[in-house]
Structures are given as structure tokens and as C-alpha cells.
Structure 1
Amino acid sequence: MNAPAAALPRPPSPGYFASHWRSLDYFNLYRLTLAVALVFSGLLFGGSDLFRAGEGERFQGYAYTYLVIAALFVLGIRARWPGFQIQLTAHIATDIVVVMLLMTTSSQLAGGMGLLLAISVASGGLVGSGRLTLLYAAMASIAVLLQHGFSILGGREVADSFFQVGLLCAGYFAIGLLAHALTQRALRSERLAQQQSDELALLNRINALAIENSPDGLLAVRGDGVVRHASPRALALLGVTTPVVPGTTRLADCAPDLARLAEQVRPGTEASLTAPAAQLRVRCIPLATPDDSRVLVLEDQTQAAQAAQRLKLAALGRLTANIAHEIRNPLSAISHAAQLLREEAHDPAGTRLAGIIENNARRLDRLVEEVLTLNRRDRLNPATFDAAALAGLVDELRQAEEIPADAVIVSMPDTLRFQFDPDHLRQIVWNLMRNAWRYSRKQPGSLHVSAQTSGDTVQIDLADDGPGLAAEHLGKLFEPFFTTDAQGTGLGLFLARELAEANRARLAYVPGTGGARFRLSLGGSD
């Protein structure tokens, strides 16, 4: 058996809210109820002296017709066709015509039936937001006056009763004016509420976008430990893989370490948390709600430290770029003077001092060059490398560092192909080879450069046979200005990693035995 089709949404009506149609629906429900009551009244009192001879059956006919018309109006309201104002005017006109006809059936019921039109006029003003209210009052007044006039001409009424009919018509206009004033006030309130609702919805969308794109994770937690909201960034930082249902999931179930820490952190204070994905700093912000809710802000300290390092290097780079010529000119003079001093020195002490000056001058020059290279990290000019080009680069750098040919073993597949900036790749391989040769045993085969491909991923490894890295140095390996060599600048590995990231690659240290191994991972190309 096929499932029932979903109800189609009602078509919109320009210039009217959904509340207008609901009000019209309720008004028609009143008319249906009134029509049923009139039908039963005709059945119960149709043969009584309340009606003149034969008028009881006519009263019942009018009542049944009114019931059928009210039932048909239900279909128009549901379809919202024709327009709202047309339907409302048709409702009021029907009420006026039917009530006028009912008034002709009994002089005793004429006054009471006339009061029914007051309800129709008031409902027309309230439902229609005050539009055409005075028109409805005028239509009802004209209909009552015409009916009363025909009754006088027919001898069923006397002329003195015009005063009562005039009061009834004045009541129609008074009710119409009051309904108009009330509906205008209600309409202003509804428009203001709609405007505030739209602004609140826009503010909620802005807040949602801000939370989703925030580098910090945000968790809203009730006083009883139930999670009210968890941003995707917070779940990623905490390493939470299970679904979190707001208002149901407890913080202790999805992040027990954070739950224990949240009980200790007071508003306005901070604490550290070691999560599976990162080292976090946790801040607590109270929301001042009856359920003692609070927001836990999770900041990734690793990213903050990297950002601080980039700012520091950027500032240093700008400073060095501005004074590079001022530094290099005195360095050139110092180096030249040291060479002259070495040539003219006749004792070992003078030669040794000249060598010290030259070594430190070269060290300063290399420091300036590395920082300047860091400033040019985003100036990419990628080129295609294959196995022969990479092997040629390794051999060129080997000769520049005066490394014996048999000390370097190169092994890579002939199908190797990848994209990389040539200057950046030269700087990376040069730093890695220089460090590897410095700490190796300086024997045949001490350095091993290898490459392998796996799908679209290319991995280039450079390993040495030295003592490797101490465990306490692994966390600081890529930090700027960290070095274990008194002659080093501490920028080589940091610069190599920055250049790798600029080319969408990743440089990492591979733990293992038999020396140090660094791996450059990047995407390959056909």
C-alpha cells in the first residue's frame, strides 16, 4: 500500500500573513456553527407562532443555503483562491444577504437577526486588518434600511421603528471604526514581531557561521554536565568521533578528561588539557542562566605557538630585509680584511684569528640569507622534477658541500615525477644534506637519498648513519633558532619546513634506528 503523499504547502498570498488566513478560517468556523444553529432553530420552531404562515419553511430554506455556502467557503480558504480580500468580502456580503432574507421571515426575529450583522462587520474589520471595514458597515446599514423600508411598505412594520434601525446602523459604523483601530494596532505589532523575528534569524545564522569558522572550539554545557551545543571544531580538537546530541549527551560520556577539568575551572580562569588531537587551553565563560550553563572555549596552543613564531619570523624578516645591505657591506669589508690579515700574518696566532673572523662573517652572511629566503617563501615558480633532475640536484649539492661521491647513495624509481619550486627544493635538500653530513660517520654510504611513489603521493627520504636525535630534542626540532651546533643558525630546519608548506608539502622527522631520517611528502603529477 502506497504511503500517503505529503501535503502540499499552501500558496502564499502577497501582502498578507499566514495569520490572516487562520483568522478567516476561524471566522468561517463561526459561520458554520451559526448556520447549524439556524437550521436546528428552523426545525424546532418552524411551526410555531414565531413565523407567519409558510414563513417557517422559507426560514429553513435560507438556513440550509447558508450552511452549504459556508461549507463551500472552506474549500476556497484551503486553496487560498481567489485572493484573501475577495474571499473576505464574499463572506461578509453572503452574511448580509442571508441575514436580510432571514429578517423578512419574522418581524419578531428581525431585531435579533440585525445584531448578527454587527458580528460580521466586526469580524470583517479584525480579519481584514481594517481594510474595507467602513464599506462593510455601509453595506450592512443599507441592507437593514432596505429590509425595514420594504417591511413598512408591506404593512408589517410601522414608520416609528426607523429610530431603532438607525441606532443599529450607527452601531455598525461604531463597531467598524473600533475594529479598524484595533486591527491597525495589532498589524503594527505583528509587523514589528515579524521584523524582529527576521533579525533574530539573521543573527542566529551569523552566529552559526562565526562558530563553525572559529579557530577555537566552543562547548556550551549545562550545570548538570549535559552538552547544549558543540561546534565541529571543538569535537575535532577533542578527538570525539561519537555523535553528540545537544540536550542529551553528557560531557563526561564524550570527553571525560574535559568534564573533570570543567569542574575545577572557575569562571575567568584558564587551564591546560592534553587531548588526543592537540594541546588545549580551556577557558570558562558563565552564561548567567538559571541552569548554570557555561561556555568552554578550547584554544589550540600548537597553532597559537606556530602563529607567534610566524609573526616573530615575519618581523625579523622585514627588519633583515631593510638592513640587509647595511649588514652585508660591513661583512664584505670584514671578510676582505680577514683575508688580507691571513696573507700578511707570519705567526699561527694571527692566522687563527683571521680564520675566526672569516668563519663568523660567513655565519652572519648565511643567517641573513636564510631569513631573506624565508621572506620569499610565497613566491612560487613550480617546475616538474623527475628522477634524473632530482639526482642531478643531489649531485650538485654534494659537490658544493665537498661530500665524496661514494658517501651518497641515491635510489629512486624512473617513473618519479612531481611539481616543486626549484629554488625552494634546492634550499630544503641543501639544509638536509648539510645537517646529515655534519652528524654522519663520513664514510662510504653514510647518506642515503631515496624516493618512492604511492598513488599521487611522493615521499623523498634523506637518512644518515649518525647517532640520531635525542628524545628531548624532538619537540623543538623545527623551532626557529634551535640548534645543537655552536656554528649553526637554528633556522635551517625551520626554513626547510616553511618552504615545504609553501609548496603544499610536509617535512617531518621519521623516528627509527641507525641515524636521523627526514621525509618530504608531497603530491605527485603525471
Structure 2
Amino acid sequence: MNAATAARPRLATQGYFASHWRSLDYFNLYRLTLTMALVFTGVLFGASEMFTEGAGERFQAYAFAYLVVAALFVLGIRARWPGFQVQLTTHIVADIIFTVLLMGTSQRLADGMGLLLVVSIASGGLVGSGRLTLLYASIASIALLLQHSLSILGYSPTNSSYFQVGLLCTGYFAIGWLAHTLTQRALRSETLAQQQAEELALLNRINALAIENSPDGLLAVSGDGIVRHASPRALALLGVTTPVVPGRTRLEACSPELARLARQLSPDATPTLNAPNGPLRVRCIPLATADGSRVLVLEDQSLAAQAAQRLKLAALGRLTANIAHEIRNPLSAISHAAQLLSEDTHDPTQVKLTGIIENNARRLDRLVEEVLTLNRRDRLKPTSVNHAALSALIAELQQAEAIPADRISVNLDERLHFQFDPDHLRQILWNLLRNAWRVCSKNPGCIQIRLHQQAELALLEIQDDGTGVPPEHQSKLFEPFFTTDAQGTGLGLFLARELAEANHAVLAYVPGAWGARFRLSLYGST
């Protein structure tokens, strides 16, 4: 037998399972016990008046042969060969043959030995799932009638009549029919139980996947504060780093504040918990169990705020895009008319007024362009950006903003390159460079641009030597229409972050000891 055969499951016959083979093994164990008892009976009483002359030796020989055959059946069951139904039929036929042979050795034991076949037929029906049960009853009845007829023809004394034998044969069929009926009912129940078990297992897998992928954290807690289940999301939201053992870990060990809150939490209340990773809204769902178990649902408030922000921005984007298209044409006409007026007049007051019109028209045009760029952020055409391309882009923006060359210190790792949409990168750097130039000291080296590698990330940083961003404004930096510049639109940093996210990068403000530092984190390679 090779390794593949040895590793094969012990299910050898289609339609039969390990439970069938186990039942057949128990049935054969009964047979081994019975045959050993018969062997001892022959040894102890073979010379008694229970047997006629020479019959005791035959009884011992039949009983010993019966024991050897039962022992051989053990090998077949272990090997699962031949098939289950073949082995079961062989077992029943062997029982019938040896029982009839043993009955013929002693008329005093014949009636009792015939009753042993009832056990074999019933066991065969139960073990074999009701298959061929009536056939076994038929074979046993025929064998019993033949044995009784041979006894009469051989002029052997007998205590039984055909009527008694017929009653015993009728009992065989009754037991066979009953075993068949009970087995079929048990099989239907077993099939139904197996289907329900499979459905329950599927439902458990679905529930496990739903819990693991839920944006909310779920904690099942008993009435005495023992954690019965904790989803990975719940542990992450609570900032729990120690292992949680279901059924042993107490809620106080995970979050004392949540444990205190849970003791006085009603199903209708939704208080807020200040967790290490941000505020959480807590809901309680009672499980209606005897021990007062309940499920605590932890909702990340930041996710809800982000979802609301996305909805607001989506609606705002659609609105502003429509307005921007309607504004651009009359805005161009206003700007053109202001230029014509400034050319046809020498009145200083009128020249000043037309200049104000032109400046504000350009400001509105820039606002319209930023809004349209925001709505085109998903139209990506990424290319590989290396040291040379980034240096050329910085020089171009420096010239566009009229920044002297010595005011910017550039330190770029020549080995790094990354994928980015060039128009999006130009827009991001333009916004950051313009803001830095507006707030810096205008001294040489007042703006520093650095590209370096950290782990698998390429970090592009722009830092100025200004006063920095006040702490109360840092959380609002990337909100739309937030600005501290009277001439600003409030969309520059918001647009820069949106374009960075569209290119799978992250734009963030890095608090420092001096000035303002913005970092663009993206996946780069050398």
C-alpha cells in the first residue's frame, strides 16, 4: 500500500460513512463476544447430556470456526475492503450458517440458538440502513426450515413443530420490517440534522465574515462583565493590544471607561466614549439571556463624519461645477471689458477701478479653475517622475511665482522615482509652494524642498521658515473654503489632498519646531 492509498479517507463505499463502519465494528464485537461464549460452552458442557454422542465435538468445532471467522471480519472492517454492503451481507450469512449448524448439534439448544438470529437480523437492518433486511429474514427462515426438515428426515428427536418454527420465521420478518422502518426514520432525521448542521455552519461563517469586515466594533459581554466575543475591529478602536481570551477576560481589562459606561447603559441610549483612537458612539443590544448578556456596538464617529463630509462634498462638487461653467463665460466678458476700459482712459481713478475689476476677475477665474480641477481629479494619466523631472517642475513653478533662485533649497534623492499624474503633481506643488512663499521670511533658503526615502515610501517635503500653523487651525487645514488669507479661495490645500489621494498618495501637515512642513507620502522605488 503506497502513501497515497494510506492517506485516503476511510470512506470506501459510495453512500456509507464512518458511522456505518463504526456500527459494523460494534456489531462484529458482539459476534466475537458471542462466539467466545459458545466456545467456552462447548468446552465446559461438550461431554454433558446436553449433546448426543459425538455432537459435543461438532459443537466445539463449529463454535471455534465461528470465532475464527469473526476474527477475520475484523481485518476486513479495518481495511474497508470489500465494500460495506458486501461485508455486512457476509456477516449475516455467516451468522445464519453457523447458527443453523450449531442448532443441529443439540435439540435442547435449538430453540435458544434460533433466537440469536433475531439479533443478527435486527442488527443487520440497523447497521445497513435498512437495506436487504427482508432478504436476511428470508435467508434465515429458509435455513431454519431446512434444518428442521433435515432433523425430522434424519429421525432426530426434536421438541419443536413446524408451527413453532413458522412463528420464529414470522418473528424474523417482523423484526426485519421493524428494523427497516426505524432505520429509514433515523436516516431521514440524520439527513435533516446534517442539512441543518451545514446551514448552521454556513450561517456561522457568514456571521464571522460580517463581524470581521464590519466597520463597527462588536463586543459580546455577559452580565457579570466577562467578554464572550470581541471582534478585531472593536479591539482596534479601543486600542487594546493585549490578548483577549473569550470567557475569561473582563471588560475592565480592555477598557475601564467602557466597562463603567456599560453598567449604566440602556438600550435606547447612545453615549460617546473617548477612546485612544478617537470618539466612539456606543450602542447596547440586549441578547435576552438568563445571564443578562448583551452586545456593545462601537461606531467610529470619524467614519460617520467622513461619510457626511463625502456626501456634502459630492453635492457641493456637482453644484459648483454647474455654477463654474455658467460663471466662466460672463467672467471672461467682464475681464475683457475691463482691459478695454483701461486702454481707452488716462483717468487715474478709472484705471484703478478697472485694475480692481481685473484682479477680482482673475481671482474668480482661479476659483473656477480649481473647482473644475477638483471634478477632474479621477482622470489619471500617471507617468514615472524622477529626479530630473521633479527638478524641472520646481524650477518652472519658481519662475511662475517669481521666486528668486536662492530662496529655495532643493535636496532630492537622485535614486528615487515614483508614479504620479504630472498635471496633478504640478497643481499640488504649486499650491504648497505659493503658500510657503506667502508666509516665509523671504530670506535665502527660506523654503526647503526635500525628497527622501523612508522604508517603502518616498517622502516629498516642503517646509518654510514662517510662523507655522496655529494648533487650533491644524485640524481645519484641508477643509474646503477654510483660509486665513483674505485673497485665498480656501480650496488650495483641499484640492491638493484630493489630487494626492487620487494618485494613491497622502498629503499631511507635519507639526514641527518652526515653520510649516507639508509631506507628500507615496510609494517610490530606486
Whether the 8 Å contact between 1:130 and 1:180 is mirrored in structure 2 is yes
Whether the 8 Å contact between 1:419 and 1:525 is mirrored in structure 2 is no
Task: Look up the match of 2:489.
Answer: 489
Moved more, 357-366 or 34-43: 357-366
Q: Distance in 2 between matches of 1:191 and 1:468?
A: 73
Whether the 8 Å contact between 2:122 and 2:179 is mirrored in structure 1 is yes
Q: Distance in 2 between matches of 1:287 and 1:353?
A: 73
User: What's the % identity of the aligned pairs?
Assistant: 73
Whether the 8 Å contact between 2:466 and 2:516 is mirrored in structure 1 is yes
Deviation of residue 147 (structure 1)? 0.3
> What letter matches 1:397 in structure 2?
L
Task: Look up the match of 1:71.
Answer: 71
Sort the Cα spacing of 1:291 and 1:175 in 2 relative to 1 into closer, same or farther, 3 A: same
> What letter matches 1:493 in structure 2?
L
> What letter matches 1:172 in structure 2?
Y
Sort the Cα spacing of 1:27 and 1:415 in 2 relative to 1 into closer, same or farther, 3 A: closer
Q: Distance in 2 between matches of 1:75 and 1:363?
A: 95
- 3-state SS of paired residue (1:298): strand
Moved more, 432-441 or 450-459: 450-459
Deviation of residue 352 (structure 1)? 5.2
Task: Look up the match of 2:506.
Answer: 506
> What letter matches 2:336 in structure 1?
H
Sort the Cα spacing of 1:286 and 1:183 in 2 relative to 1 into closer, same or farther, 3 A: same
Q: Distance in 1 between matches of 2:12 and 2:158?
A: 51
Deviation of residue 273 (structure 1)? 2.5
Deviation of residue 320 (structure 1)? 3.5
Deviation of residue 374 (structure 1)? 2.2
Deviation of residue 244 (structure 1)? 1.8
- 3-state SS of paired residue (1:185): helix
- 3-state SS of paired residue (2:174): helix
Q: Distance in 1 between matches of 2:160 and 2:186?
A: 41
Structure 1: gaps spanning 5 or more residues: 1-5
Q: Distance in 2 between matches of 1:380 and 1:466?
A: 34
Q: Distance in 1 between matches of 2:281 and 2:86?
A: 64
Whether the 8 Å contact between 2:12 and 2:81 is mirrored in structure 1 is no
Offset from partner CA, 1:228-276 (integer Å, 9 cap, x none): 2222222222222222222222222233333233323322432223333
Task: Look up the match of 1:80.
Answer: 80
Q: Distance in 1 between matches of 2:375 and 2:81?
A: 69
> What letter matches 2:417 in structure 1?
R
Q: Distance in 2 between matches of 1:159 and 1:286?
A: 74
Whether the 8 Å contact between 1:152 and 1:159 is mirrored in structure 2 is no
Sort the Cα spacing of 1:347 and 1:392 in 2 relative to 1 into closer, same or farther, 3 A: same
Task: Look up the match of 1:379.
Answer: 379
Whether the 8 Å contact between 2:450 and 2:460 is mirrored in structure 1 is yes
Task: Look up the match of 2:286.
Answer: 286
Task: Look up the match of 2:269.
Answer: 269
Deviation of residue 356 (structure 1)? 4.5
Task: Look up the match of 1:3.
Answer: none
Deviation of residue 107 (structure 1)? 1.0
- 3-state SS of paired residue (1:311): helix
Q: Distance in 1 between matches of 2:350 and 2:264?
A: 66
> What letter matches 2:132 in structure 1?
L
Q: Distance in 2 between matches of 1:290 and 1:64?
A: 61
Please give the residue correspondences for 1:72-471 in structure 2 after superposition, counting only pairs within 5 Å: 72-157=72-157, 161-342=161-342, 353-454=353-454, 456-471=456-471
- 3-state SS of paired residue (2:229): strand
- 3-state SS of paired residue (2:507): strand
- 3-state SS of paired residue (2:419): strand
Q: Distance in 1 between matches of 2:347 and 2:262?
A: 71
Sort the Cα spacing of 1:94 and 1:160 in 2 relative to 1 into closer, same or farther, 3 A: closer
Whether the 8 Å contact between 2:238 and 2:254 is mirrored in structure 1 is no
TM-score when normalising by structure 2: 0.92
Offset from partner CA, 1:315-350 (integer Å, 9 cap, x none): 322334445422211222233344445556776665
Moved more, 105-114 or 278-287: 278-287
Whether the 8 Å contact between 1:148 and 1:157 is mirrored in structure 2 is no
Offset from partner CA, 1:467-512 (integer Å, 9 cap, x none): 1111111122222222222332222112212222222222111212
- 3-state SS of paired residue (2:195): helix
> What letter matches 1:221 in structure 2?
V
> What letter matches 1:382 in structure 2?
P
Structure 2: gaps spanning 5 or more residues: 1-5
Q: Distance in 1 between matches of 2:263 and 2:485?
A: 46
Whether the 8 Å contact between 1:218 and 1:234 is mirrored in structure 2 is yes
Deviation of residue 456 (structure 1)? 4.2
Task: Look up the match of 2:44.
Answer: 44
Sort the Cα spacing of 1:260 and 1:364 in 2 relative to 1 into closer, same or farther, 3 A: farther
Moved more, 358-367 or 17-26: 358-367
Moved more, 261-270 or 201-210: 261-270
TM-score when normalising by structure 1: 0.92
Moved more, 145-154 or 333-342: 333-342
Q: Distance in 2 between matches of 1:498 and 1:433?
A: 17
Superposition RMSD on alpha carbons, in Å?
Answer: 2.5
Q: Distance in 2 between matches of 1:20 and 1:416?
A: 67
Sort the Cα spacing of 1:21 and 1:268 in 2 relative to 1 into closer, same or farther, 3 A: farther
